[in-house]
Chains A and B, each alone.
Chain A
Amino acid sequence: MSRTTRRLMLALAASTFGITAVGAATISTSLPSAATTSASTTSYPAHIAAANGTITIPSRPTAIVSMSPTATEMLYAIGAGTQVKAVDSYSDYPKNAPRTKLDALTPNVEAIVAYKPDLVVVAGDTTGLTAELAKFGIPVLSDPAATSLSQEYQQFDELGQATDHLAQAKAEVSKIRGQIKEIVAAAPRHSKPITYYFELDQTYYSETSSTFIGQVLGLLGMKSIADAAKGAASSGGYPQLSAEFIIRSNPDYIYLADTLCCGQNAKKVAKRPGWSVLTAVKDGHVVGLNDDIASRWGPRIVDLLRIVANSLRHHSST
């Protein structure tokens, strides 16, 4: 999956659901299914307040179609993998997920219906997919790009509730919380914020400190150079920078989230015209990341944080 698509999907998801997601992504406790049952089981029909409104799932789903790579990772992390029947073409993790040619960006209703799903999970809907699938009586649960860690945790809850794995979902969330706490506690402290350039693609699209990834790196006391870019706010936190801007900002660290899509690495960055004078290049602080992990808001966010925290251990100016 290319870098640009991921950015597109994030932007789509953010623009479509950004506002509703903040308020709505909690599980309704007033409804009997959620309130009266114990935390470990869901009684069906289940009513779940999701980013796309309250959805009703008539019975325990056993044929889930996931059109979101992040949701796929979450479903498997909470033990709902056996209930997943098909996942979209970008859902490449975990490896045993039943990957298909389903296109998450332009979903084909007929192709999805052919899997006879009893629940479809998406990260956004710009093509009227939800309404189309409603005609077939198929509920659609939307878990758009999380804008904060607490939103990610809420999505775990929603998926746990929907798939009858709420206890495992809660356990997964507390595991992630614990690991993040541990990594942050062990990370070296610095007197002033460490600056970084987070590269999404070779046209210098980047992320500010207020994005999901930006907040995660912020836990380590880091600050994105993209915050100072003119389009930082209007681009939804994903402004395009230029070589001149990056070089002049001279970040302490460079993180590459275009290693898989575009073959970028520290050596190639050092060879870019004008980049050899950068502090990050001279100090060996150019770190390649897994593009997919860096663009999803799923269970592997811990891996990303760990790699970034490890890269800071060699930072000299403590």
Chain B
Amino acid sequence: MSEVPVPEAPAAVLPRVSARRPVLVAVATLVGAMVIGVSVGPADISLPTVFSALAGHLPLIHYHSHTSAIDWDVIWQIRLPGVVLSGLVGAMLASGGAAYQGVFRNPLADPYLLGVAAGAGLGATIVIVESSGVDVSQVLPFAAFAGAVGAVTLTYLVGVTSGRRASTASIVLAGVAVAALLTAIQTYLQQQHEPDLQGVYAWILGSLGSASWSDVTLILPYVAVSAVVLLLHRRLLDVLRVGEDEAGALGIHAARVRLTVVAAATLGTAAAVSVSGLIGFVGIIVPHTVRLLSNASYRVVLPVSMIGGAAFLILADVVALNVQAPAEIPIGVVTAFVGAPFFLFLLRSRRTGVL
């Protein structure tokens, strides 16, 4: 795929920034998070054992590992898919959040703005309450994904037909209305089926504790396509920041860019939440942290949020799985509990303009 051609922006508006250093820092953080992710768990497997096991299973390396079959099983079937899935979901939620903030030019926008969360929640709830006596774990992701995509489609249709033209404001308002409606239906359904309340609740608060390689392969295509599209549009998001008329003057079809970016971010987010549940805060906290620590250009914010979001969620999952091990805390609770104070601290210590 080729880069989307971007006209040169006025130098005064968009200072040339190097993305190299923030990206390197983010990658180092991600690698550290992954090491922690594979080596920390309720089963006490030492770090050397983990690496010896991984080395022993690398192709082309003739190294004999003494790890027991069970330990290897824990590392390969439980921990690694968990780390990879957390990484994919975190990358998607964080970069999706950054993209939404750019498109809607609103610092509080997150990937759930247009109804993804409400739709996914409704889809999952319907499956959980309407099917008693069967194993729903295989159907759940598809129902949540369908709900999420359906909700955003509804928002878009309502938004574009409600005003004289499809302004971002009318779409955001339509999103609020659709989310409220779907949440009402979802709440009604869960109250009608009290026996399933805990199942619904657990899904809504999010969990990556039972991640498997099949979850990874299920969402990988969506997340990959979405990530590529978002990264290709990172410069265009910078141009949109200066305003619609200015962007138009530069020969950019602002509405088309917005639609493409929102569609890609939504599709990826829908796939992510379909396997993870509704993990909040990642889409807001990670991009803003990146902005506060480096700079606000989307050339930097998008890729660094993507990598940083992966690292953040991997670490959040380590906390979720180990604080009360072997019991699991909902990861959505961890992201909010750890994320919110950290974000406030950053805001206070670095009073930089956000967006």
Contacts and interface: CB of A to CB of B under 8 A. Distances in A.
A309 B198 CA distance: 32
Contacts of A229: 326-327
Contacts of B214: 273
Contacts of A235: 327
A106 B194 contact: yes
A16 interface: no
Interface in A243-282: 243-245, 247-248, 250, 260-264, 268, 273-274, 277
A4 B198 contact: yes
Contacts of A106: 194
Given A273-B78, A274-B78, A277-B70, A244 B43 contact: yes
A241 B135 contact: no
Given A239-B326, A240-B327, A263-B135, A2 B196 contact: yes
Contacts of A8: 198
A264 B326 contact: no
A231 B329 CA distance: 12
B187 interface: no
Contacts, number: 101
A274 B326 contact: no
Given A105-B194, A247-B43, A248-B43, A274 B73 contact: yes
Residue among A5, A242, A261 with most chain B CB within 10 A: A242
Interface residues of A, number: 34
Interface in B130-176: 132-137
B325 interface: yes
Given A106-B194, A231-B324, A262-B134, 6 more contacts: A4-B198, A244-B43, A245-B43, A245-B326, A247-B73, A264-B135
A293 to B, nearest CB: 16
A31 interface: no
B209 interface: yes
Contacts of A250: 70
18 contacts: A1-B195, A2-B199, A4-B195, A4-B196, A5-B195, A203-B210, A230-B325, A235-B327, A242-B42, A242-B209, A242-B327, A243-B209, A248-B74, A262-B136, A273-B78, A273-B81, A274-B77, A277-B69
B326 A273 contact: no
B14 interface: no
A1 B197 CA distance: 12
B328 A242 contact: yes
Interface string A266-307: 001000011001000000000000000000000000000000
Interface string A90-111: 0000000000000101100000
A215 interface: no
A248 B42 contact: yes
A189 to B, nearest CB: 28
A245 B212 contact: no
A242 B326 contact: yes
Contacts of B273: none
B194 A103 contact: yes
A202 interface: yes
A186 to B, nearest CB: 33
Interface string B220-246: 000000000000000000000000000
B44 to A, nearest CB: 8
Contacts of B194: 5, 103, 105-106
A4 B327 CA distance: 15
Interface residues of A, dominant DSSP: loop
3 nearest A-B residue pairs (beta carbon): A274-B77, A245-B326, A248-B43
Nearest to A205: B327
Contacts of B22: none
Contacts of A230: 324-327
Residue among B79, B213, B327 with most chain A CB within 10 A: B327
Given A241-B326, A245-B43, A273 B197 contact: no
B327 A273 contact: no
Nearest to B209: A242
A239 B42 CA distance: 14
Contact of A261 (B79, B132, B327, B328): B132
Contacts of A263: 133-135
A8 B202 CA distance: 14
Given A273-B77, A273-B213, A240 B326 contact: yes
Nearest to A239: B327
Given A103-B194, A273-B213, A4 B199 contact: yes
Given A230-B326, A244-B326, A273-B212, A2 B135 contact: no
Contacts of B79: 244
Contacts of B213: 273
A106 B194 CA distance: 9
B42 A247 contact: no
Given A4-B196, A202-B137, A273-B213, A245 B70 contact: no
A133 to B, nearest CB: 21
Contacts of A203: 202, 207, 210, 328
Contacts of A4: 195-199
B321 A242 contact: yes
Contacts of B321: 242
Contact of B133 (A240, A247, A261): A261
Interface string B16-44: 00000000000000000000000001110
A68 to B, nearest CB: 15
A107 to B, nearest CB: 12
B196 A268 contact: no
A212 to B, nearest CB: 21
A247 B327 contact: no
A247 B326 contact: no
Contact of B325 (A1, A2, A242, A273): A242
Contacts of A204: 326
Nearest to A263: B135
A264 B138 CA distance: 12
Interface string A105-139: 11000000000000000000000000000000000
Contacts of B327: 229-231, 235, 239-242
